[in-house]
Structure 1
Amino acid sequence: MMQHVKEPTHVRGHILDVVITRDTVGTVSNVVVTDPELSVSLGSISKDHNAVIFNAKASKPAPVRKTVTFRKLRAISIETFKQDNTDRNTI
């Protein structure tokens, strides 16, 4: 496990916001802790921790192909269907 945030994210000097990955190679890059510059309507800053911005590499897994066979319901033979079910139950 690797923690990618290396500097304090809380105004009191603690790391509260984390980015953790399983590996150390290239999954997360360009981690930046920055002031989000949020303010209340009176103009004073209202925050207790900074924002963590980073790039993450993610890939979509390849789709799993599955062959499905089925009977045409209008062309089904009841006797063959019964026999197939009997054969399956004895396995």
Structure 2
Amino acid sequence: MISELSLLNTSLLIIGDFNLHFDNVNDSTVSKSQNILDSYSLYQHVKTKSHKRGHILDLVISEQNSQLINTLEVTTDLLSDHYPIVCDINLESASSVEKEIMSRKLKDIDVEQFASSIKEAVKCIDSDDPLALLHRY
């Protein structure tokens, strides 16, 4: 998945509970995970425990040279077994595109007149051949 995401021409930010003791460098799964991050030039920002039992389980990952994460703080407020991680993320807002939308008030349509107009329009169809009808339009 990271290999596919790394091909996109956009900033990459991965945040979540990974359920790995990321501070335990002797854990082979952690070591493999860190190698994957290193191979894609990704940086894990959380450096202090994020769980009440004293491990780093919650990660914030971005590209190494990215300016995406301005500040990051793990607070010890115990709302759950995971500590809140507060960070400032440097995002550019997407430019809005103004689009004109035209609509009709369906309640104002005269249904009988509409049906009559459709009947008149299809009277000129003089073929049962679908291909001939396709070429007509």
For normalisation by structure 2, the TM-score amounts to 0.37
Q: Which residue of 2 aligns with 1:68?
A: none
Q: How far did 1:13 drift?
A: 1.6
State the one-letter code of the partner of 1:12: R
Identity %: 33
| Alignment equivalent of 1:30, drawn from 61, 64, 71 | 71
- Within a 5 Å distance, the mapping from 1:68-79 to structure 2 comes to none
> Partners in 1 of 2:72 and 2:88 — Cα distance?
7
**Deviation larger for 54-63 or 24-33:** 54-63
> Partners in 1 of 2:74 and 2:65 — Cα distance?
19
Answer yes or no: is 1:52 the counterpart of 2:93. Answer: no
User: What does the per-residue CA deviation read over 1:23-58, in whole Å, with 9 as the maximum and x for residues that have no partner?
Assistant: 3332102110002343xxxxxxxx312110000011
Q: Which residue of 1 aligns with 2:52?
A: 11
| Secondary structure of the corresponding residue to residue 59 of structure 2 | coil
Counterparts in 2 of 1:29 and 1:9: CA distance versus 1, 3 Å: same
Q: Which residue of 2 aligns with 1:70?
A: none
For normalisation by structure 1, the TM-score amounts to 0.51
Aligned residues: 73
> Partners in 1 of 2:90 and 2:64 — Cα distance?
12
Identify unmatched segments of 5+ residues in structure 1: 39-46, 65-85, 87-91
> Partners in 2 of 1:50 and 1:58 — Cα distance?
24
Identify unmatched segments of 5+ residues in structure 2: 1-41, 98-134
